[in-house]
Amino acid sequence: MTMRGLSAFPITPTDAAGRPLPADLRRLILRLARAGVDSIGVLGSTGGYAYLEADQRREVLETALDAAGGRVPVIAGVGALRSDTSAALARHAADAGATGLLLAPMSYTPLTEDEVFGHFETVAGASDLPICIYNNPSTTHFTFSPALIARLASLPTVTAVKMPLPAGGDFAGQIAALRADLPPDFAIGYSGDWGCPDALLNHADGWFSVAAGLWPDQTLTLACAARAGDRPETARWQARFQPMWDLFQAHGSLRVVHACARLMDLTDAQPPRPILPLPDALTPRLRAAMHALDD
């Protein structure tokens, strides 16, 4: 159940030395819990998990769980280059009270399908938590074949996949093809915010959303309209989000939501170097895109 609906992925605010800022994270999590998103995904790509040490990641998850206070399920990103690191993080997440795991096959040396299967098997063996396959070739540099997703679904706790947007936009075709080889209760969700309302209109199970990490109410409204099949309302909200989607696509959502969180006075955090903050010249466009989401 955890891996369905709107999952909000906040940034992990950090100081200039890369250390998490727990008070700022708590502020972000409280906004999401109050808005009532279906789940909160901490330590996803937007949460900068790849740039944090293992002990910092444990601290971030504990802070988020405490702030969420059981009101909203929390999914923990446990991706790492080494299988033993991911397995240890999975054990910690289970002990700490997370509801599910998001597992990205981070890679440096390009991985084979057997290696990625072994990685998931190792992490699945470390806890009883449900695992969502994180399929995002642009960051992990590994592309899951439909056959590998089906093979991974044979592991009893692998119950969901987070897919990138299909190149041609054919959600219905891709979802039907995936479902044909997956257990009936396996959840198929998407990331890439600009395309996800269309995924929900086509009966995807979930939207893993960067925007929901900062604008949970507006994203929930859009997600609800799309899940209900209300195309006019979906189109109306998509139009309001369009300036933000344009910024996400041009500059990367991680850079954009860091800049917006600063403009919203939620944190002073910057992305981890070498990632650069957006130039000040973009501030008017950021403000306009945020204004389009105001009531």
Tell whether the torsion through CA atoms of 59, 60, 61 and 67 is positive or negative: positive
Q: Which residue out of 51, 108, 134, 190 is catalytically annotated? A: 134
Instruction: Report if residue 109 touches a second copy, rule: CB under 8 A.
Output: yes
Task: Name which of residues 225 to 254 contact a second copy (CB under 8 A).
Answer: 252, 254
From the list 62, 83, 217, 282, which residue makes contact with a second copy (rule: CB under 8 A)? Answer: 83
User: Which has the closest alpha carbon to 130: 177, 181, 73, 184?
Assistant: 73
- Contact call for residue 17 and a second copy (CB under 8 A): yes
- Contact between 135 and a second copy (CB under 8 A)? no
Residue 267 corresponds to which amino acid? T
What SS3 state is found at 20?
Answer: strand
Q: Which lies closer to a second copy via its Cβ, residue 5 or residue 48?
A: 48
Tokens at 241, concatenated? 């989000």
The answer to whether 261 touches 31, Cβ cutoff 8 Å, is no
The residue assigned the tokens 């997370």 is 98
d(CA 199, CA 221): 15
Size of the site for a second copy (CB under 8 A): 33
Best CA proximity match to 215, nearest among 283, 278, 102, 294: 294
- Select from 34, 82, 179, 291 the one that contacts a second copy (CB under 8 A): 82
Active site residue 49: no
Decide if 190 is catalytic.
no
Cα distance between residue 154 and residue 162, in whole Å: 17
**Is position 116 an interface residue for a second copy (rule: CB under 8 A)?**
yes
Nearer to a second copy, 35 or 51 (CB): 51
Residue with tokens 């040490």: 53
CA–chain centroid gap for 290, Å, is 20
Selected range binding a second copy among 24-32, 76-84, 201-209, 234-242, rule: CB under 8 A: 76-84
**By C-beta, is 179 or 273 nearer to a second copy?**
273
Question: Is 274 an interacting residue with respect to a second copy (CB under 8 A)?
Answer: yes
Rounded to a whole number of angstroms, the minimum distance from the CB of residue 262 to a second copy is 18
Alpha carbon distances (Å) from 54 to 20, 84, 87, 262: 12, 11, 11, 26
Give the residue from 167, 173, 203 showing the smallest Cα distance to 188: 203
Site string for a second copy, 48-67 (x = CB under 8 A): --xx----------------
| Separation CA 124–CA 105 (nearest Å) | 13
Nearer to a second copy, 157 or 238 (CB): 157
Asked if 81 interacts with a second copy (CB under 8 A), we say yes
Q: Per CB under 8 A, which region of 89-97, 109-117, 154-162, 286-294 contacts a second copy?
A: 109-117
Residue 114 in contact with a second copy, rule: CB under 8 A: yes
Please identify which residue in 96, 139, 230, 285 interacts with a second copy, judged by CB under 8 A. Answer: 139
If we measure between CA atoms, which residue out of 209, 206, 242, 200 comes closest to residue 11? Answer: 209
133 backbone dihedrals φ, ψ, rounded to 5°? -70, 125
Residue 265, both tokens: 């006075």
Determine whether the annotation assigns residue 109 to a binding site.
no
Upstream peptide bond of 274 is cis (omega within 30 degrees of 0): yes
Q: Is 277 in the site for a second copy (CB under 8 A)?
A: no
**What positions carry a catalytic annotation?**
134, 162
User: Which residues of the chain form contacts with a second copy (CB under 8 A)?
Assistant: 17-18, 45, 50-51, 81-84, 105-106, 108-112, 114-116, 118-119, 122, 138-139, 141, 252, 254, 271-276
Annotated binding site for pyruvate: 46
